[in-house]
Amino acid sequence: MTDTNNILQVEGLRIVYGEQVAVNGISFTVQQGEIFGLLGPNGAGKTSTLSAIEGLLIPTAGQVTVAGYDIYKEKLEARANLGVQLQSTSFQAELNVKEIIKLYAGVYGIDLSESDIQTILQNIKLEDDGNKRAGQLSGGQQQRLSLAVATLHNPPLVLLDEPTTGLDPQSRRALWDRIDEMRNSGRSVLITTHSMEEAHAICSRIAIIDHGEIIATGNPDEMIAKYKDDPDVRAAMRLPQVTLEDVFIGLTGKALRH
């Protein structure tokens, strides 16, 4: 039975590649109007989980529903309620910003007037760059454009895969503001990030995944309070107070991941 308060439900998701178990029966929900962070070291299972949620990968077991639609059995309906921004988006370099917006609007079956396009450009602070080619945009500008085209069809759930990687502090904060605006408008966001500062700053709840299993979940402040006296967390401290990064390192270990 699907909970109508949850825009995303992942139940018993298991993904196996040959003899390797990438995701081992995880379950979690993303509620309406919240930013949910999926955190984990490299190889923990984040990418496989996102691929399954997008419907790009058929899991060994489990169920994923988006806005009440099964992503595998009702693909069109589920994807209509889903927007996706990948970590690196490669737009057609020869197209300018306006042309890119028109192209993706056509994919979604949306008819945009010049006034509509200008409003979008103003919202993403590219009002003077509509005729600039994609290859001429900075990393921050490309990410803002990527987020805009991913949400042209006004999806209730948006997936963001490490959206601020490589951005300078100003560009990162600008993207945080855009994400906050989506939440304030009632949308839900599922974000993966390696930045614990980012997760603490914008996420309503987080889940830490390691070796294909969710090992902790909750509000960032609550998780710090819960694990602040754990010996492994204390050993990871670099500042006078326990941070979310200390909790993450304490729970997942100090060993480098590839």
Q: Which tens digits make up the pLDDT trace of 205-234?
A: 999 999 999 999 999 999 999 999 999 999
Domain segments of the chain: what residues?
A: 86-154
Share of the chain above pLDDT 70, in %: 97
> Residue 134's CB: how many other CB atoms inside 10 A?
19
Q: Which percentage of the chain shows pLDDT scores above 90?
A: 79
Q: Alpha helices, DSSP H only, in the chain? A: 46-54, 75-80, 97-107, 114-123, 139-150, 169-184, 196-202, 220-227, 231-235, 244-252
Backbone angles phi, psi at 94, to 5 degrees: -80, -15
Worst-scoring range by mean pLDDT, 21-25, 70-74, 143-147?
Answer: 143-147
Compute the distance between CA of residue 68 and CA of residue 53 in angstroms, rounded to an integer.
13
**Per-residue pLDDT reduced to its tens digit, 92-119:** 888 999 999 999 999 888 999 999 999 9
- Residue 27: name the closest of 17, 19, 38 by CA: 38
State the pLDDT at residue 135: 85
* Helical residues (DSSP H) of 22-82, grouped into ranges: 46-54, 75-80
Phi, psi of 137 (to 5 degrees): -80, 150
Query: What does the pLDDT average to over 123-148?
Result: 90
**Sequence-separated (6 or more) residues with CB below 8 Å from residue 164:** 143, 171, 172, 175, 176, 193, 195, 198
Average pLDDT of the residues of the chain? 92
Report residue 86's pLDDT band, with 50, 70 and 90 as the boundaries: confident
**8 Å CB contact between 194 and 248:** no
